[in-house]
Structure 1
Amino acid sequence: MVEYERILFIDADTLIIEPLDGIFDEVTIQTPMTSLLHRTQEIKSDEMPIPSNYTFAARSDNAFSGERNHPFPPPPTESFSAGFWVAAPSKEMFEYLMSVMRRWRRFDPHTMEQSLLNHAFRREGPMPWFELGCEWSATWLSLKDWKAGVKSLHEKWDRTGPKEIREKWQKVKSEMEVFQQRVQE
Structure 2
Amino acid sequence: MIFTELFLASLALAPALALPAAPTEGDSEVFSFGKWIDGIIANPDGNNLTPDEAVAAWSASSNGTRAGALEKRAPLVCTGYSFCKVADAVWCINYLATIGGQGQRCEVTTAANWCGHGSARLNGLTAVGASTSSNCNDVARAGGYIMDACTRSDGLVSGTAPAYGNGNLIVEIRN
| TM bucket normalised to smaller | under 0.3
Q: Which has the higher contact order (CA 8 A, sep 6+)?
A: 1
Rg comparison, structure with higher value: 2
* Structure with more of its chain in strand, by fraction: 2
